Amino acid sequence: MSGDIRVKTDRKYRNLYNDLKNFAVGDMHELFFLCSCLGFRAKKKKNLGGNGEDRFWSRTITPEEYACYYAMMLEESNMDLSAIKDDTTIISEMEKYANAGMEILLDDFLSEYCSSGLKLDSSISKELPKALLHFIYEQL
C-alpha cells in the first residue's frame, strides 16, 4: 500500500468533498471510498480527463479500503493477480469509479441537499449525516 500517491477527484466536486468532510464523513478518503463502491456496483467509470484535481494522499486510505480496492481490481480483471501489483494503477482505476459514483450519489441522493454550484445548502442539510447512512443501507 503506497502512501505517496496523490488521489484525484473531479475539480467540480471540490466543494462537495470539502463540505462533507467532518460533517457526513470523517475524511475525504471515506467519501472517495463510498463513491468508488457506488461506481463499481453500478459498473460505471468516468475518466477525470483534464478535470482531475489532487484531493488527498493515499496514505490516508485504510487497509480495509485498500483490501476492497484490490478485490474490485481482481473482480474486474477476472482474478488476474497482476492487476493488483501497482498501487498507482489501482488508485487511477478507483478515481474513475469514484467519479462515476459521485454522479450516482448526486443523482440519487445529494441533489436535494445542494444549492447551485454543487455546494451543500446548510439550511437544509441538518439531517444529511443520518440520511446518508440510510441511503448507504438501502444500497446493500
- Mean pLDDT for 101-117 is 91
Q: What pLDDT is stored for residue 136 in this prediction?
A: 95
pLDDT digits (tens, 9 = 90+) for 124-133: 889 999 999 9
Burial class (CB in 10 A: 0-12, 13-18, 19+), 43: exposed
The pLDDT of residue 3 is above 90: no
pTM of the model: 0.94
Residue identified by cell 471510498 is 33
Q: What pLDDT is stored for residue 118 in this prediction?
A: 85
pLDDT digits (tens, 9 = 90+) for 9-24: 999 999 999 999 989 9
49 contacts: CB under 8 Å, gap ≥ 6 = none
Answer for the pair 12, 49: CB distance below 8 angstroms, yes or no: no
Helix (H, G, I), strand (E, B) or coil at 92: helix
- 136 residue type, one letter: I
